[in-house]
Structure 1
Amino acid sequence: MKNKWLSLINLETKAYAHQWFFLAACGYAILIMPLTMLARHGYGPAILAVPANHAFEMLFGFALALIAGYLLGPMPRRQLALFLFFWLLARLTGLTNMATWLVLASNAVFAVLLAQQLLPRLWVAKKWRNRILAPLLGLICILSIAVSLISQSGHHELMRYLLGESVQLFALLMLFMGGRMLAPAIAGEFYRQGMELQARVQPRVEAGLIVTIIAAVILAPVSTSVSGILLITSGMLAAIRLFRWQLWHCLARPDLICLSIGYAWLAMGLIMLGSAKLDEHIHLGTAIHAITVGALGTLACNVLVRVSLLHTRQYPSHIAHILVITVCMTVAAMLRISADFSVYREILLAASAIVWSISFFIVLVILFSCLVREPIRKTAVDTSLLSMKTSKHNALR
């Protein structure tokens, strides 16, 4: 009884990180692409007209907010507000090009707070494949500070190189977390149909993904061709892993199909990235956008919706909007890739940005609908708490 009492009190004093950071990341995603397009034509924040700065905001602004929302879990409200404050401060000062020291400091504080909160929790894992998540996130947080510092010091070539290598680390993170989300969900659907999925997490394939991508990052300064071959290998391993999940048995689950489309973008993006490295970095930007728009955009939308719906005890498979969102994001990715091969580049870029924003606007509507349902759950908790207080009072009498 005492433990139940304490748990109910904790529910009142804590907030869920995904509710705050998912809304912030979704709102930022809606704005960042149109602002970038406006900046290209002299109407938006001038800093976004520089491709490297746009890439930084996508990776260490948008994607890092997604990581925070997904992994932080329930936290004291004041502590969570502190995290969100520094993230917002970094975004606002960065876009408005205010005091450079404030941009650097706010990015650094947020990265340090995030690492300090997550790394000890992730390091306790027993298997090395699970434990690799801690140094991977630590390296991403370090790169967030390093790239911000290098940007302020004016070493733009080094900044572009580090951003390119950071994409591979985010791809590895998506492969790891996407696989851990898809495998049990697909296995559950197999069980519901009276079947058994033999290939679930696929530890050997996952180990191969970890080794090849990390090796590709380490060897990139030494041999670009070897790094490219390793990335192609990792993309093929991701495709094999996806094939072995036998998703043709899950056609009645659009939520799983949509998640797998994001995973397929990862596999294709890594193969494209490796091929670009072998071909003297021709179409390197195209390959990077296959990962950042196709994979990151699709997986982000689906994870935002999935986590928020499950938190309010709704089933993602019953939400038709997931299909619409994923189709829109696929169109956005294809438009962005096509822009690099078309004479109508600016028109296709603008169309891609609009469709991207539409996708995240639909996600934002779903997130707000989940927030509306949340007070219903809180009312139930308050009722249980009042009932326990009444019972305790009667017992004392």
Structure 2
Amino acid sequence: MNETHPIKRKPVPRGIAHTGPVILAYGFRPFFLAAGIWAVVAMGLWVVCLMTGFPIGSGYGGAAWHAHEMLFGYTSAALAGFLLTAIPNWTGRLPVSGIPLAILFAVWLAGRLVLIRPDLVGVGWAVGVDILFLPLLFAICLREVIAGRKWRDLKVLAAVLALAIANASYHALIVWGADTGLANRLAVAAYIMLIGIIGGRVVPSFTRNWLAKRHVINLPAPYDRLDSLALLTALAGLGLWVVWPTHLATVIVCIVAGALHAMRLARWQSWQTAEERLVLVLHLAYAAVPLGFFAIALVPSGLVDAASALHVFTVGAIGLMTLAIMSRATRGHTGMPLTAPALTAASYGFLVIGAVLRPGAMLVPAHYMTLVAISGLCWMAAFLLYVVEYGPALLTRRKPRPE
């Protein structure tokens, strides 16, 4: 009787491809580079618009274009770079790379180009092009999370879906000539929840790793009920803020959320990270989360205006956290030492200054526009330094293979 032998199958290869264009080898490469460049270009175009009257956004409206490109242009690229790099680590699957990555990036880039002068193609067509990116990113990430059976990460994708809805709503409100405040707040709320969820993993984890190498005994507290309560309260507070930004219930819940997130941060040993700016900056960025909750709770009293409160979240929490993650991930995934050299530290410093000046400008009405302009220049300087320092690595440097 003939014996049958099972066919030996080759294992599915895992890891990063070492052939083809480096820029398309991993999601963080094109998207982090583009995020850095667009952070500078978009802010620069807005400054030119303010100074010269250049019709940025044409029929879409200059102020609306600026807000959109900060929330859905720059930040969506930074988010895509992070998710396309982190999800393979969560699922153990291969990263999206090569032609699929190039197509996804082209969709993001097309949205940026058509919205600069949407009248050239028609506002409807421009909006249609821009709306495609976030649902496509959501679909790709959802496929990977389901295939990897990482069900707990679906809550991260819920925030991406909220961003896609916020983007579509923002465009619809612009076309209808209505106030975009609700869509703005929904987008900011989604990003703050992502910082709460993902930042709640990476900030204490990176801090623990760094402190452990220094043989420090007091390490960040592990995730427990306080963390869950902080996230649930944040979700409630942000949900109320989106719908009823000045309601008493919003004020009360946001104060509680701010206090819980301040307590959460205090358990991560922030004061022990001053020697390593690559770690310290994560704590500074997360500190803007409770500050943002307190700021929006003060808006109904008139002590803080709505725009200033919003910018505590956007420049402080979102801007600084994305810059911190982009620089750290770039260093880690290209084989650079996990420490912040002078140029990186300078980029953090500029953005911290900008994050303080933008909401703080309301305290000095006589110099309000000057301080807002300086804040914008600090934003541009921070991301220009990122592009100068890390652009060559993103384009050409591969992480050395383990021997």
TM-score by length of 1: 0.85
Q: Is the 8 A contact 1:339 1:345 kept in 2?
A: yes
Q: Secondary structure at the match of 1:41?
A: helix
Q: Is the 8 A contact 2:142 2:157 kept in 1?
A: yes
Q: Is the 8 A contact 1:231 1:270 kept in 2?
A: yes
Q: Distance in 2 between matches of 1:96 and 1:163?
A: 21
Q: Structure 1: 5+ residue runs without aligned partners?
A: 385-397
Higher alpha-carbon deviation: 213-222 or 245-254: 213-222
Find 1:24's aligned residue among 20, 26, 34.
34
Kindly provide the amino acid, as one letter, of the partner of residue 69 in structure 1.
G
Q: Is the 8 A contact 2:238 2:254 kept in 1?
A: no
| Aligned twin of 2:317 | 295
Q: Give the Å deviation of 1:50.
A: 4.3
Find 2:19's aligned residue among 12, 23, 42.
12
The structure in which a higher percent of residues are helix is 1
Within-5 A mapping of 1:130-169: 130-155=153-178, 157=179, 159-169=180-190
Within-5 A mapping of 1:1-397: 6-7=13-14, 10-12=17-19, 15-47=25-57, 50-73=62-85, 74-98=95-119, 99-122=122-145, 124-127=149-152, 130-155=153-178, 157=179, 159-197=180-218, 199-220=220-241, 221=243, 224-276=247-299, 278-279=300-301, 283-341=305-363, 342-371=365-394, 374=397, 377=400
Higher alpha-carbon deviation: 368-377 or 5-14: 5-14
| Aligned twin of 1:387 | none
Q: Secondary structure at the match of 1:202?
A: coil
Kindly provide the amino acid, as one letter, of the partner of residue 56 in structure 1.
H
Q: Against the structure 1 CA distance between its residues 121 and 359, is the aligned structure 2 distance closer, same or farther, given a 3 Å change threshold?
A: same
Q: Is the 8 A contact 2:288 2:316 kept in 1?
A: yes
Q: Against the structure 1 CA distance between its residues 201 and 49, is the aligned structure 2 distance closer, same or farther, given a 3 Å change threshold?
A: farther
Q: Give the Å deviation of 1:2.
A: 8.4
Q: Secondary structure at the match of 1:344?
A: helix
- How many residues are treated as equivalent by the alignment? 375
Kindly provide the amino acid, as one letter, of the partner of residue 263 in structure 2.
I
Q: Is the 8 A contact 2:138 2:161 kept in 1?
A: yes
Q: Deviations over 1:274-322 (max 9, x none)?
A: 221x426951110111111122221122111111110112123252323
Q: Against the structure 1 CA distance between its residues 52 and 371, is the aligned structure 2 distance closer, same or farther, given a 3 Å change threshold?
A: closer
Q: Give the Å deviation of 1:193.
A: 2.7
Q: Distance in 1 between matches of 2:106 and 2:206?
A: 34
| Aligned twin of 1:390 | none
Kindly provide the amino acid, as one letter, of the partner of residue 294 in structure 1.
G
Q: Structure 2: 5+ residue runs without aligned partners?
A: 1-7, 86-94
Q: Against the structure 1 CA distance between its residues 119 and 224, is the aligned structure 2 distance closer, same or farther, given a 3 Å change threshold?
A: farther
Q: Give the Å deviation of 1:369.
A: 3.4
Q: Is the 8 A contact 1:265 1:290 kept in 2?
A: yes
Higher alpha-carbon deviation: 196-205 or 266-275: 196-205
Higher alpha-carbon deviation: 24-33 or 8-17: 8-17
Identity of aligned residues (%): 22
Q: Secondary structure at the match of 2:25?
A: strand
Q: Distance in 2 between matches of 1:9 and 1:3?
A: 18
Q: Secondary structure at the match of 1:143?
A: helix
Kindly provide the amino acid, as one letter, of the partner of residue 209 in structure 1.
A
Kindly provide the amino acid, as one letter, of the partner of residue 168 in structure 2.
I
Q: Is the 8 A contact 1:202 1:241 kept in 2?
A: no
Q: Secondary structure at the match of 2:132?
A: helix
Q: Give the Å deviation of 1:252.
A: 2.5
